[in-house]
Structure 1
Amino acid sequence: MTDLLKPDFARNMKLIGHSDIGGRGDGLQLMVHHGHAYVAHPWSQGFSIIDVRDPKHPKTVNYVQAPANTWNIHLQTHGDLLLVINALDLFADVESFTDEKAYYTQSVGETVGASKREKAWTAGMTVYDISKPANPRKIGQLDVDGVGFHRLWYVGGRYAYASALLDGFSDYIFVTIDMADPTKPELVGRWWLPGMNTAASESRTWADGKRYALHHALVHGDTAYACWRDGGLTLLDIKDHAAPKLIKHHNWSPPYGGGTHSPLPLPGRDLLVVADEAVLDNEEDGRKHTWIFDIRVPENPISISTFPIPNEIDYANKGGHFGPHNLHENRPGSFVSDTLIFATWQNAGIRAFDISDPYHPVETGALVPAAPTTMTDRRPGRPKVIQSADVFVDANGLIYATDYNAGLEIIEYGG
């Protein structure tokens, strides 16, 4: 537990707890499960576990170090399983990506291949038993050839899904993983956008300065809703997990600035929320939006509205990234709603939106945490401002949010 710093702005939200995560204040994806928050680190490597059963007094209870030259920036929990990605630590070990802009505008596979690195790293996914929540026990591993995995989706059942940068591809593609035996997960299916299979000499189909790369997909039923950064959105039929098939590819970049990042299907309403990530400071990559699509006809998703843009101050000139990043994903066992959406907006903090009328989304709450007191992000020239990264809402409605430097916030929503 650390002292609570007064938020820069709050409306219908109240900060009730904070953790500096044992001095590793950098957080990316988080899961709250069995009364513990599992937080992945982008710069401290590894992941941490915080006991949040008393949300006003969270306690960091464990830290698991990543393998050498490897980051564990995303993870998933379900039942007694924790799945953690392994990939080359791109910010620490590839000189080409010390400039933030380069990471978002270059093919990672081609850039890493060109670097001719000699260091070894771990690529793929590790499976832990978390029946004792504070003490994960490694039980399985999936190793792949290449840079590794980026993000996962697993909510139980036989299959998990990942974005994976495998040897022979220009960037991250969609893969399916058989979890029938969690001690021996197996990669069984692959799908990619045309032009990404460099080993097959496919011709590149995108412009210089763009990244066609899967960020991640969420799955409902037999459909995977996948976001491809500057490659837009695909709906994939995954009835055959070994051979996913395209239902629809839709890209709105250009004219918009790309960065398509986070999908959230709302199947009970035939809606899909999609957030385009702001990836450069001061809106250099343009104004980014969170879109609502009508997907009654999956072969023809239609955008019907965008979320309102935070405007209490001039966030575009505050410093850092201003715009969408992650969405609370309605995971089983967490807070689930098809009308109330929670999102991170980077230097504009954490936001709640009522989409009861999908044509007119309304912001119903916001909290912008105070600036970080220390910087864990070691990239040169990064501004000392809040950059809210991920948000998770538990079944009781408590909001948990990470930041690249400022630790873990626990927040009450006023309803």
Structure 2
Amino acid sequence: MLPSRDLPRPDHAHNMKLIGHSDIGGRGDGLQLMVHRGFAYIGHPWSQGFSIVDVRDPVRPGEVTYIPAPPNTWNIHLQTHDDLLLVIDALDLFADVETFRDEKTYYTRSIGETVAARKTKRAWRAGMTVYDISRPDRPRRIGQLDVDGIGFHRLWYVGGRYAYASALLDGYTDYIFVTIDMADPTRPDIVGRWWLPGMNAGAGETPTAPEGKRYALHHSLVAGNTAYACWRDGGLTLLDISDHAAPKLISHRNWSPPFGGGTHSALPLPGRDLLVVADEAVLDHEEDGRKNTWIFDIREPSNPISISSFPVPEDADYPRKGGHFGPHNLHENRPGSFVSETLIFATWQNAGIRAFDISDPYRPVETGALVPAGPAQMTDRRPGRPSVIQSADVFVDAAGLIYATDYNAGLEIIEYGG
């Protein structure tokens, strides 16, 4: 496949080739990404709303459709399945530049402490919006789940009766796990909740997170009747969700301390009884410590054991480059996308997009990398942010093409050498 002309020249490439790029209609900031029926659905952290990019020709991405968010609301995460698009609604936290002028505030204090307790009047949409995308670039709103609180953060939905979300509801210190009944997509409903002890302040629980740490669900992936949930500085839980109204704890592991927390993404590999877990780097110059992507042996779900970690990129001095250096997200093996239990794709923020062969789970090997060029312009309006790549999310389609977003640099489309 030949690349289109005038592509931004990557800073580094090994066994990967940039073949297409989109500035997403001038809104270069992207977070979660789904590619579905030839269209890329992208949530925006700074531009609010979300965009749909025609990528049926991945070498020359086409028309962009932008759907604005309601006032004071962001739509940073979303999910697609068949004719449905689920989009989170939550208070646009980064619009509060005064509160989050120092990004450390966001990552080291509960959102309930920094924001929720100060809001006396709700002026944003909180929960989830459901769209009909039978016409992929013309979403039609058909359902709404409203909640009291800040709203949802991230979703998991691959069809069936239930969806799963991280939700910050009134009375809780931060985001918790919820199950959502999707039997009627026009009227989704929360039917189950689970949280770490101490998070239900409204019921009189005492927070247990140490000073400077956040116990908050980032998101969970589900395989069978188990939800694999990552709680930032609260570590990893395996939850039995066979009763969706009453999730039950199977096991809880937390390696912060001694490691720096930020547990973000868990990818179950059920055919091998393995679990890949990425800890997000959240501060510049590794101020929060070296972050790792771990491989766990989960043959005994009540006793998950870490057996190795991914190699750390060393092709440049990334800790000194500026911005965040370390893992962020994993390609999640969604049905209909590229699915593998040996080849893992990950974003590494200022070190770009990486591929790892874990055929031997005790010795993961990097097999490809592409570090996109820095952004042509900054959409991130936080003061003092460096103009460097911060690869955020990655999606690999069934044909093996890699799609990746950045906080400022648009959508990258990449061919992997195999």
Shorter-chain TM-score: what band?
over 0.9
2:221 counterpart residue number: 218
Q: Distance in 1 between matches of 2:278 and 2:119?
A: 34
Match of 1:206 among 204, 209, 229: 209
Q: TM-score, normalised by structure 2?
A: 0.98
Q: Which runs of 4+ in 1 moved over 2 A?
A: 113-119
Does the 8 Å contact 2:32/2:405 carry over to 1?
Answer: yes
Match of 1:403 among 401, 406, 411: 406
Q: Distance in 1 between matches of 2:47 and 2:192?
A: 32
- Identify which range, 109-118 or 348-357, moves more after superposition: 109-118
1:317 counterpart residue number: 320
1:233 counterpart residue number: 236
Q: Which amino acid aligns with 2:222?
A: V
Question: Deviation per CA, 1:24-83, whole angstroms, max 9, x where unpaired?
Answer: 000000000010000000000000000000000001331000000000000000000000
Does the 8 Å contact 1:31/1:77 carry over to 2?
Answer: yes
Equivalent residues in 2 for 1:229-378, closer than 5 Å: 229-378=232-381
Equivalent residues in 2 for 1:64-213, closer than 5 Å: 64-93=67-96, 95-116=98-119, 118=121, 120-213=123-216
Q: Which amino acid aligns with 1:233?
A: L
Q: Distance in 1 between matches of 2:271 and 2:25?
A: 41
Match of 1:394 among 394, 397, 414: 397
Once the two structures are TM-superposed, the CA of residue 201 in structure 1 deviates from its matched residue by 1.2
Once the two structures are TM-superposed, the CA of residue 98 in structure 1 deviates from its matched residue by 2.5
Q: Distance in 1 between matches of 2:83 and 2:364?
A: 37
Q: Distance in 1 between matches of 2:222 and 2:178?
A: 12
Q: Distance in 2 between matches of 1:289 and 1:60?
A: 37
Does the 8 Å contact 2:70/2:124 carry over to 1?
Answer: yes
Once the two structures are TM-superposed, the CA of residue 2 in structure 1 deviates from its matched residue by 8.2
Once the two structures are TM-superposed, the CA of residue 119 in structure 1 deviates from its matched residue by 5.5
Q: TM-score, normalised by structure 1?
A: 0.99
Once the two structures are TM-superposed, the CA of residue 97 in structure 1 deviates from its matched residue by 1.8
Question: Deviation per CA, 1:146-184, whole angstroms, max 9, x where unpaired?
Answer: 000000000000000000000000000000000000000
1:385 aligns with 2:388: yes
Question: Deviation per CA, 1:283-307, whole angstroms, max 9, x where unpaired?
Answer: 0000000000000000000000000
Question: Deviation per CA, 1:113-168, whole angstroms, max 9, x where unpaired?
Answer: 33235450000000000000010000000000000000000000000000000000
Aligned residue for 1:128, secondary structure, equals strand
Does the 8 Å contact 1:69/1:119 carry over to 2?
Answer: no
Aligned length: 415
2:44 counterpart residue number: 41
Q: Distance in 2 between matches of 1:248 and 1:268?
A: 20
Q: Distance in 2 between matches of 1:135 and 1:32?
A: 15
* Percentage of matched positions with identical amino acids: 82
Q: Distance in 1 between matches of 2:14 and 2:148?
A: 47
Q: Distance in 2 between matches of 1:206 and 1:339?
A: 35
Q: Distance in 1 between matches of 2:5 and 2:194?
A: 45
Q: Distance in 1 between matches of 2:122 and 2:268?
A: 40
Residues 2 and 157 from structure 1, CA distance in 2 versus in 1: closer, same or farther, beyond 3 angstroms? farther
Aligned residue for 2:99, secondary structure, equals helix
Q: Distance in 1 between matches of 2:285 and 2:122?
A: 35
Q: Which runs of 5+ in 1 are unaligned?
A: none
Q: Distance in 2 between matches of 1:45 and 1:2?
A: 30
